Amino acid sequence: MLNVLRTRTLCYVAVQSYCSLKSMLMTSLVAAPPSNVNITDSGLTANTVRFNDTTTLTCSAAGTDPLQYAWYYKASYRYYRTPLPGANSTNYTVYSAKSSDVGEYTCEVSNWAGKSSETYTLHVQCK
């Protein structure tokens, strides 16, 4: 009797594991990579912030959750972009804008099904 009970328990565990695996596989078949990535600003005109002012860039995207965000910066005089440390949310804020903030800000959105990005060019106007 003990062997039968132990066999049923193992079967139950095996069925539960199979169902979990099947559920994960079915989810992966319908998962959507990020798309329609868009960056908006906090009311700037022509992507231009005034010197010493603050602006916030907001990134939005469609896709299967969880979506992960990463921000990158490329100065106009560089050929490569660099990650912005700690910038891993939908918003990135430029505080007290100065000439060194001029450049391209890229929001990269990813999930386990893929990734997509959008770039925003920021200008700083002297007062």
- Kindly write down the DSSP assignment for every residue of 13-76, as one continuous string: HHHHHHHHHHHHHHHHHH----EEEEEE-SS-BTTEEETT--EEEEEEEESSSPPEEEEEEEET
Check whether residue 105 and residue 73 sit in a common domain: yes
Check whether residue 45 and residue 8 sit in a common domain: no
Q: Residue 2 has what pLDDT?
A: 46
Check whether residue 103 and residue 120 sit in a common domain: yes
Q: DSSP label at 8? A: H
Domain CATH code at residue 104: 2.60.40.10
Q: Which helix (H) or strand (E) holds 123?
A: strand 114-125
Check whether residue 83 and residue 45 sit in a common domain: yes
Q: Residue 88 has what pLDDT?
A: 97
Check whether residue 11 and residue 57 sit in a common domain: no
Check whether residue 55 and residue 18 sit in a common domain: no
Check whether residue 118 and residue 69 sit in a common domain: yes
Q: Residue 22 has what pLDDT?
A: 52
Q: Residue 13 has what pLDDT?
A: 42
pTM for this predicted structure:
0.76
Check whether residue 111 and residue 61 sit in a common domain: yes
Looking at the DSSP bridge assignments, the partners of residue 108 are 70, 117
Check whether residue 42 and residue 3 sit in a common domain: no
Check whether residue 63 and residue 107 sit in a common domain: yes
Q: Residue 127 has what pLDDT?
A: 72
Check whether residue 2 and residue 15 sit in a common domain: yes
Q: What is the pLDDT of residues 96-115, one digit of tens each?
A: 999 999 999 999 999 999 99
Check whether residue 67 and residue 105 sit in a common domain: yes
pLDDT, greater one: 2 or 35: 35
Domain containing 16 equals 1-30
Q: What is the pLDDT of residues 29-75, one digit of tens each?
A: 578 999 999 999 999 999 999 999 999 999 999 999 999 999 999 99
What is the tally of structural domains in the chain?
A: 2
Length of the chain: 127
Q: How confident is the model at residue 77 (pLDDT cuts 50, 70, 90)?
A: confident
**Is the model's pLDDT at 12 over the cut of 70?**
no
Q: Residue 69 has what pLDDT?
A: 98
